[in-house]
Structures are given as C-alpha cells and as structure tokens.
Structure 1
Amino acid sequence: MFKRVLLTTLLATFLFSCQQNPESDISYTIAPIMGDSIPQLKIKMILKASPDGTTTLSFPNDVWGQTDLYNSLGSMQLLNVEGVVEKDLDSGRIVLMHPKDAKELEFEYFLKQDFDDDLSTDKVYRPVINKQYFHVFSHNMFMVPENAEDTLGIFLDWTDFPEEYTIHNSFGSQEREQLLADMDLELFGNAIFVGGDFRIFNGDIQGNKISLATRGEWIPFKDENVFKVLEQTLTYQRNFWNDHSQKYFTVTMQPFPQENGSSFQGTGLTNSFATSVSNNDLTDIGQMVYLFNHELMHNWIGHAIKNVNEEEQYWFSEGFTEYYTFKNIAKNKINGLDGTFFITEMNRTIRDLYASSVGDSPNSEINYDNFWTNYEYSKLPYWRGAIFAFYLDQKIQQKSEDKQSLDDVVHRIYTDATSKEQKLTHDYFIGVMDAYWDGDFEAVFQNHIEEGQKVDLVALFDELDLDYSPKSDIYDLGFVFTEDRKRIQSVTEGSKAWEAGIRTGDEVFSRSIWQGNIEHEVELGLRRNGEEVKISFYPVKKGEVPQLKPSAENVEKLGF
C-alpha cells in the first residue's frame, strides 16, 4: 500500500545544474548533519529520470531478518523538479513521480538510527548512526534504480565529512571521492560502510591490500593481535584456494556492550566482512580466530561458489564453510591451534546436532522463516553440513588410500564456479561426488541431507580405527521460555533445570545462557510468589553421542 509522504515544488527544471560525476550513471553525496538534535546522514543522489514520469528506487523494508527498516528514513524530497515521493512498504520501493520531460533527478533523503537503547546482537543489522560513528550496510543506506542495468558507474562523494573523520568501506579506505566503474549492483548492495572514530590497520598479502577497521576500547584483546589473526587467516585460505586475485579486502569490528556471557557474529560481504563482538572479559581472541576463519572462507564457499537456492543449500555454504574453518585453523596452526582443536570442534558439533530438537528435520524445513527466527534451525545447516563434510572427507581418503580428499571435490566445484559460472545445486553436487565415491552417492545424499538422517558416526569411527567414547554429556537447557522470554513456559521433569528448582510460571528478571555450551553454567534470576531467587546449573544430560578422544594417535590418523 502506497503512503504519500511528501509533495515539493522547487526550482524549475531549466535552473537545474547537474553535479553528477561525468563518468558515473548515478552519484551519491553523503554528509553528516544534526536534525532535531539527532545525528543523521544526508544522502543526495543524482540519477537518470524515467521517461514515463515514474522512477522507482529499491530500498527494502524487511531484509536479513530485520523488519520496519523504513523507520530509519527521515524526510525525502526531489530538489530539482516538482514531484511526489511515495513509500511502498510492501514491495520495498521508493517511488518518485515527476514530469515526463525531466532528464535527471536530484533526490535527497535522510537516514537515522531508529532505536534508542544500547547496541545489541539484534540491532547490528540496522543502521547505526550516532555522534561518534556510523555503521550501515549498503541495502540500508543507498537506494538504487529498480530497473537499472546490472552494472552501473557509481560515484560516492564523502567530502563534506570532517577531515579527522575516518571513511572506510567495502571499496576503499580514507577515500573522500570514490568512482566505482562498471559496478555490479548486486555486489554494491552487499557492502559495509563505516565512518567516524574507527582505527585502521593496513597490510598486504602478495601485493594485495588488507585492512582492519575497529573502534572502541577493547577489553579482551589488542587490535594488533586481532590484525595478526586476520593476516594469518587470509594468507592460508588464499593459499588453499590458490587465489590471490583480490586486490582489496577489509574487516570491520564493532563492539557492543554485554553484561553476561559472550556473543559475536559476522557477515561476509563484497571485498569485506563485518563483525560485531561483545566487549567484555568473557570474549577472547580464540573466538576471533573462529569468526575470521568462518567468515573469510565465505569468500569462496558462498560467494565465489554460489547457491542456486540460499536456504536449500545452506548445508554446503554454511556447513562446508564450518568444516573448512576447523580444518584450516588446525592444518596451519593459526594462533597456535592444532589437530586437538579440530577434534574438539568436531566433538562440539556432533553434540550440538545430537542434542538438537530439530536435528532430524528434513532439509526442506531449513527455510527463510525458520532460519531467521529459530536458533536451532539457524544452526542446523552448520552442524549437519560440517559432519557430512567430515564423513565425505574421511571416506574419500579411505577409498583413494589418501591420494584424494574432500579438498579435491571443493577445488573442482570452485573451478567450475569461476570458469563456467556453475552454481551449487543438489544434482550438480551429486554429479561431482560420483567421481570420488564408491557406490550410489545419490542415495547417501538423499538420506543425510534431504531427509536429515544422522551419519552413523560409531560405525565410521570403528571403520577408521579411531579412539572414541560412545557416550557423552550433551547440551540440555531443560526448560522453555515464553515467547517474550520473561517467564518459564515449561520445565522438563528430571532435567538439571528441574533439579535446580526452576518451575513453570517463574518470572525471569535476569539470565546468562551460553547457548549450546555445556561448560558454562546457566544463571537465572527468578521471581516466584513475590520472592526473588538466583539459580545456576550446568545444562547437560547423558546421551548416546560418540566423541573422538583428543589423542596423539587420533590427531595423526586424521592427518594433522
């Protein structure tokens, strides 16, 4: 439904003086302003006008699990012609209606932060704009013509920012004027833009520039150590893929406050990935090692190798990325980690999958809604895909007497993706694997990916003569929150939560939960019958879940 927001009568067309860069098809001038005492970004764009008098701009209202992003939009107006600006929330469009004889449009809009509370994990994908800095993803910042060519010349003008203000993004660092020639609009829309009090660390790998943009006073680590992990990670991953073609790559790190527990997340983007990390003494450099390796691996698995259907192939783009994260760290001893790290992470992944209430769900249930709204569904393709990758890797090595491995499979897929623009489909993956598999691989794939049957790890460990324990402690929270997480909806009798004294109907006023982690206690502050009580317990139960022993013999047999 269209909502009319503005009607402006301004300068006549013949007075319009075009400021667009002559080499660009569309230009943006970005400037910091204070409007109603609120820090905002003023964005003025110059673009070609549609001859039918209606120019439509894409600007999603709901994306990446976020809703109502139009709340971050301030006033909008056409500057050089009479016209009407309308929001179409349902389709994610901004519609400009103007005279049919207009050749170009000068359109101005304002962007602001639409939340007042502290930054948190559920806010980092919204525009963050304050007096100290801004942190915005491209699709939340730059409107683009809906029916434009796939590639455009785009000009970005940042010259109105103070000289001491850092300007840094997926396309360059400290550049006040940026001309992105023949820019793929999909890549442009998948970028990060930051500015303000960010600190920039620069380096190079085989002549290619890398950088880290970070801000704030970090409690758990030093900037220099984080940058060293970044250098190691990129070097070894590029060596693995034999790909040193990327001339520029950056990582951004945004801290956020968190009183209890530790959390971090990252998003792989064009020439970059953006991270947000809890800034407390429960966070450590080891988490950055994992985060960097996982997200940077997406440069190849997920970006160079694209899924035909995102959620349907998340078992590959997330699960295989997870597996090669563990493998790359251990093989190259990044930050001193080795084969025991690989075993520890695979054991954790096995426990997570076996303890999950959705662990046997078919692949079809990993859809957009489930993935973005349910924690277990969001992690299921990571767990399932990583274990499936481990299974395939070991079986290929066994069949070929260590002459081949899953590495050969993913290298073949990467070559096809880059030379033939082949995208990842289930049929394509099965076809590739047939050359490395002894037997009917399609049936194997159908069982373990399509239907969600767990790999028989006990049989695999026995076959490979690996030392393991058949039982282990697995994660079991033991209770369910109400939807608003303010009360206890139900408790499993006999669970550790039940034994600790948690009961249905308890009001929750504080909580610290390391989701999926059996080594940290769950801590809850509860109210019951007007009284407050503090409860803590380890969220574990015994399960028939095999775990590899981190022995020197196992490390050697697994190739580390």
Structure 2
Amino acid sequence: MLQRAFPILFLVILIVSCQQRPKADVRYEITSVLVDSLPQLRVRMSMPADSSGVTMLDFPNEAWGQKDLYNILGQMQLLNVEGAIEKDLDSGRVILMHPKEAKQLEFEYHLKQDFDGDLSTGRVYRPIIDKTYFHLFSHSFFMVPKTVGDTIDIALHWTGFPENYTIHNSFGSGEREQFLEDMDRDLFGSAIFVGGDFKVLKGDIHGNRISLATRGEWVPFKEEDVFQVLEQTLTCQRNFWNDHSQEYFTVTMQPFAQETGSSFQGTGLTNSFATSISNNDFTEIGQLVYLFNHELMHNWIGHAIKNDNEEEQYWFSEGFTEYYAFKNIARNKINGLQGDYYVQEINRTIRDLYASSVMEAPNSEINYDNFWNDRDYSKLPYFRGAVFAFYLDQKIQDSSNGEKSLDDVMHQIYRDAFTKNQKLEHDYFIGVMNGYWEGDFENFFHKHIIEGQKVDLAGLFEELRLDYEPMSDIYELGFEFDGERKKIERVVEGSKAWEAGLREGDEVYARSIWQGSIEHQVELGLKRNGEKFQVAYYPIKKAEVPQLKPTASNIQKLGF
C-alpha cells in the first residue's frame, strides 16, 4: 500500500509546490556565499531569452552619483546554454549572447563590495556586502532583462541564509519567498534591500504595516524613540492628506562613523525611505524629526502631486514640502515640538534666504545645471518656496478670518492630481489660488516666484500685528576655499573670519563647519609659514532681516 500511495503523495507535494511558487516572468534566487574567504551575494536568474540570440540586461555602471559600479560584479556565467557575456559600460547593460532557439535562460552572477575601510558619506550608495550584513539598492543588485515589459511578475527566493538572518526590503520583511505581481520595472528599480544583523521594529497605522530596520548600537538615541517619531510622522501626514492607501512602508537606517559634526542622507524609494546617519554625539534626534517630516511629505508633494517641469516647480515641490514639514511637526507636537519650533524654523528659513548670494535670482536660473552643481541655487527653492508658502498661508487665514488656510489649497491640488492626473504647473497653481486670494494673484506670483523678488515680510508682520525684530544675524562664512578645499582662497575683509585671523593662502588641515548655521562655531585647523594654529568664530553678520519674536501672543496668532 505504501508503494501504491507514494506516487500519489509525490504528485500532491508537486502540485502544492507549484501553487506556492506562482509563474513569474523573472526569478531571482539570492544566496550568501564566500569567494576566496570574502563574502559575496550570488544571484541566479531565470528569464525568457530574446529570439535574436542577444538578451540585454539593464545594470547601470553609473547611478546616483556612483561611478564604476561594474567593479562590484564578480563571476558571471550562463548555466543552461553555451554563450558569451559582455559588459557594455556606455549603455549600462550586461549582454548575453546565446543560441537563437533558446527559450529560457538560466544566468548566474556574483556581487561583491568594491571598497575597503569604514563606511562614509561618499560610499553609502555603493553596495555593501559584509560578513554580518548587506545593504543594496535594486539598480545595483538586480539585472532586469529588456525582453520583459514595463510591468513584470517577479519572484525572489532568499536561500542559504541563517535562520536568524534578517531579510528586509521595500516589498516586505522577514519573507524568504516573495512574489511581486504586475511590478512596475521603474518601481522595482528604486528599492532598498538589506539583510543580516538588522533589527526591525514594526507597527501599523489604520491596519497598514510600517517598520524601521536599523543595525548597530546607536550613540545619540534609541531605536524605539526613532520609531516613535516615524510612527507619529506617518500618522499625522496620512491624516492630513486623508490618505491611508499605502499597505506597507519601511525606513532603513544605517549608521556610519564620523569624528566631528553630524551628517545624514535620505533617499525616498518605492514603499520606503533609506537613511544613512552619522553615529556620534553631534547627531540629534531632532535632525531625524525634520528629515522624516520633509522627506516623507514627498510621498504627496513631488510624487502624488508631480511637477510639470521638474526644476521650474522646485519652489513648490521642495519649498512647500519644507514649509509643511515645519507646520506638521508643530501642529502635531511631534517629539514634543510645538509653536515655538514653528517660529524658530520660519525665522531660520528667512535668515537663510536673506543670506543667499542668489536670493533674488529669477526662477529661470534654478535649472538642472545650477541646481545640481551650485549649493546656493540648490538651496534657493527650499528657502524661497517655504517663505512664499508661509506668506500665502498667513494671508489666506487673515482674509478668511481663520476659516481657510493654505491647507485648503493643498487639498484641492492633491484631489486634482489624484482624480484628473493634474500636474503642478504655474497657470494651474495661479488658477487655484485665485479662489483664495484677494487681488491680482497672477501679478503677485510673477513678481515673487518668476522674477524672484522677496516678499514684504515686515509689511506682513505689521499687518497681522505680529511682534518682530527688523534686524538679525545671518550666516556669513566669510571666506572661500580653493578648488581642492585645502587652502583659503579669499577672505571677506571685516567679516568674523577676518577678525578671527583668517587670511588668504592659509592651508587647511582640519575643519568643522555647520553649513548655514549661526548657532555653531566654524572651527579650522590652519597652517601658515609652516606654523600650525587654530581659529574658531561664529559665522554671522548683521543685516535687515525681519524675525518673529517667539512670544506666546505671536504663537497664538499663528495658529498654534
């Protein structure tokens, strides 16, 4: 009887196995391996072959500011057919040449870390494959064949990892078998994958899963406190937009060593946000409160509400995001921050705008080249847009006796983006604002956004009877580095840098600069005529910059 039953039992197991592994366009089997005693990830692919005999796989050699990504590729081989493999650096593709009659290809490649030493800000976007963990972005992890369309059924099989080894990514947590149905290839190409000694904190908002994946021992804060900030931020933002449609969202947080100063980077990805943060006493949880609130707000401003012409509308996608980060934090008392925080951040943004060397540059100068290559231009839409949003918010509230605010404008723009696929372009924005503005908004918009003239903040404060100081300290570094940032090329005579003793030609062997901050001293280790010395000064100068007083009366009038 056992002999008769065995074929039936085998058939049942086979059927169940097939049901557990649905048909996929592309299958990836990922395994941790050692090659010459060094950790690598082995990826085995199963995919349709191109009938031409040439199957091309997308895998960029340059991406996200990283060059020579092909250095991470180890051994590659076709497993089921004879053929050849080429790397095309210019096109960012790996090319498989095989018999034309082949219908399916089995292909294997290895990934390795291509740098030694500690993680740093310049390396956080390169693949990290360590003995204890891995941290990769999908564009430098998974090769995607051109033979499949814009949407793909993808199967991911994580095999050979220890039982206590965390598997966590933009599509799930703790899942060794993942099936991504009808996956947009661009969304798949913008994802984070981590594994190893990561600790995952989990929760939910209205039944939707959220998580924080982090590793190491943090010096400045506890993971639980960070998760609480994340949970508060997502809850308040989703409530503001009345949007609880995202079933899964994760933040990954990777520490790196840095001796002085703080540094953090964040990247918004599919269902996720990836951060790398300096792990020292200079880093504060308040920086994460801002980082989460700004970057996660981009789920709506910049993503759901898309710019019609990217850089042209950065005043909105970056500036209004900045403003609503401050407003969301204060309104919901995230991490205990309230109305005085809102006033503090509005004042700081005003100072930053007035300190900018391109403060009144026309909007047309915020183009691709300037934005990505000049720090002053890259920050201008943040400052200008946030101050503009603040001005509009206060004017709308005042003219409507508090019945309406900029929130109503944002909700209308979001509804139109969702229901009509409306993009954010200037004529559309003017049309929406005409329903909330007293007077000629088109002329006002043209003057302050298109031409770049600053809004009359002193006039606004007086109109709203807000107490303010007409003068303020603003940021002035007071000197310029040479191209290699190893020497002082120019010093502004009369500046705090000049008063501290800085002179043209001084060699720089150490520095600590909080760019844009007037609360932190600039500290420089210098060498002149072979003698070493140090200088420290606050990078400030006095200017006509209106600043709100953080009084209880002002905070109440501003709605907090």
Amino acid at match of 2:446: Q
Asked whether the 8 Å contact 2:49–2:147 carries over to 1, the reply is no
More divergent stretch after superposition (263-272 vs 79-88): 79-88
Q: What secondary structure does 1:313 align onto?
A: helix
Mark the CA change 1:372 to 1:27 in structure 2 (over 3 Å): closer, same or farther. Answer: farther
Asked whether the 8 Å contact 1:215–1:255 carries over to 2, the reply is yes
How many angstroms does 1:358 deviate by? 2.5
Question: After the TM superposition, which residues 19-38 of structure 1 pair with which residues of structure 2 at under 5 Å, given as runs?
Answer: 22-38=22-38
Task: Provide the aligned C-alpha RMSD in A.
Answer: 1.9
How many angstroms does 1:523 deviate by? 0.7
Amino acid at match of 2:400: S
Equivalence for 2:498: 498
Mark the CA change 1:56 to 1:361 in structure 2 (over 3 Å): closer, same or farther. Answer: farther
Tell me the distance in 2 between the aligned counterparts of 1:114 and 1:248.
32
Tell me the distance in 1 between the aligned counterparts of 2:102 and 2:364.
48
How many angstroms does 1:448 deviate by? 2.3
Equivalence for 1:57: 57
Mark the CA change 1:68 to 1:457 in structure 2 (over 3 Å): closer, same or farther. Answer: farther
Question: After the TM superposition, which residues 316-331 of structure 1 pair with which residues of structure 2 at under 5 Å, given as runs?
Answer: 316-331=316-331
Equivalence for 2:301: 301
Equivalence for 2:473: 473
Tell me the distance in 1 between the aligned counterparts of 2:106 and 2:360.
54
Equivalence for 1:410: 410
How many angstroms does 1:351 deviate by? 0.9
CA-to-partner distance for each residue in 1:58-88, whole Å, 9 max, x for gaps?
2223333333333333333332223332333
Equivalence for 2:187: 187
Mark the CA change 1:296 to 1:153 in structure 2 (over 3 Å): closer, same or farther. Answer: same
Tell me the distance in 1 between the aligned counterparts of 2:69 and 2:366.
25
Equivalence for 1:270: 270
Tell me the distance in 2 between the aligned counterparts of 1:283 and 1:136.
24
Mark the CA change 1:364 to 1:545 in structure 2 (over 3 Å): closer, same or farther. Answer: same
Equivalence for 2:220: 220
Equivalence for 1:133: 133
TM-score by length of 1: 0.93
CA-to-partner distance for each residue in 1:480-534, whole Å, 9 max, x for gaps?
1122222212211111111111122222111111111101111111111111111
How many angstroms does 1:452 deviate by? 2.3
Q: What secondary structure does 1:194 align onto?
A: strand
Q: What secondary structure does 2:422 align onto?
A: coil
Amino acid at match of 1:273: F
Equivalence for 2:242: 242
How many angstroms does 1:465 deviate by? 1.7
1:151 aligns with 2:144: no
Amino acid at match of 2:465: D
Asked whether the 8 Å contact 2:50–2:147 carries over to 1, the reply is no
Question: After the TM superposition, which residues 99-178 of structure 1 pair with which residues of structure 2 at under 5 Å, given as runs?
Answer: 99-146=99-146, 148-178=148-178
Q: What secondary structure does 2:517 align onto?
A: coil
Mark the CA change 1:407 to 1:108 in structure 2 (over 3 Å): closer, same or farther. Answer: same
Asked whether the 8 Å contact 1:21–1:27 carries over to 2, the reply is no
Tell me the distance in 2 between the aligned counterparts of 1:36 and 1:363.
55
Amino acid at match of 2:408: D
Equivalence for 1:438: 438
Equivalence for 1:535: 535
Q: What secondary structure does 1:497 align onto?
A: helix
Tell me the distance in 2 between the aligned counterparts of 1:442 and 1:199.
52
Mark the CA change 1:446 to 1:41 in structure 2 (over 3 Å): closer, same or farther. Answer: farther
Mark the CA change 1:534 to 1:22 in structure 2 (over 3 Å): closer, same or farther. Answer: same
Equivalence for 2:4: none
Asked whether the 8 Å contact 1:65–1:372 carries over to 2, the reply is no
Give the percent of matched residue pairs that are identical in Structure 1 and Structure 2: 72
How many angstroms does 1:132 deviate by? 2.1
Tell me the distance in 1 between the aligned counterparts of 2:457 and 2:143.
49
More divergent stretch after superposition (224-233 vs 444-453): 444-453
Mark the CA change 1:445 to 1:53 in structure 2 (over 3 Å): closer, same or farther. Answer: farther
Tell me the distance in 1 between the aligned counterparts of 2:115 and 2:370.
25
Asked whether the 8 Å contact 2:170–2:193 carries over to 1, the reply is yes
How many angstroms does 1:93 deviate by? 2.4
Mark the CA change 1:307 to 1:74 in structure 2 (over 3 Å): closer, same or farther. Answer: farther
Q: What secondary structure does 1:114 align onto?
A: coil
Question: After the TM superposition, which residues 415-426 of structure 1 pair with which residues of structure 2 at under 5 Å, given as runs?
Answer: 415-426=415-426
Mark the CA change 1:539 to 1:439 in structure 2 (over 3 Å): closer, same or farther. Answer: same
Equivalence for 1:286: 286
More divergent stretch after superposition (37-46 vs 479-488): 37-46
**Structure 2 gap segments, 5+ residues each:** 1-17
Q: What secondary structure does 1:311 align onto?
A: helix
Equivalence for 2:97: 97
TM-score by length of 2: 0.93
Amino acid at match of 2:31: A
Asked whether the 8 Å contact 2:82–2:98 carries over to 1, the reply is yes
Mark the CA change 1:163 to 1:471 in structure 2 (over 3 Å): closer, same or farther. Answer: same
Q: What secondary structure does 2:310 align onto?
A: coil
How many angstroms does 1:154 deviate by? 0.8
CA-to-partner distance for each residue in 1:109-153, whole Å, 9 max, x for gaps?
222223324222222122222222111112222222346322111
**Structure 1 gap segments, 5+ residues each:** 1-17
CA-to-partner distance for each residue in 1:271-296, whole Å, 9 max, x for gaps?
11111111111111111111111122
Amino acid at match of 1:284: E
Equivalence for 1:85: 85
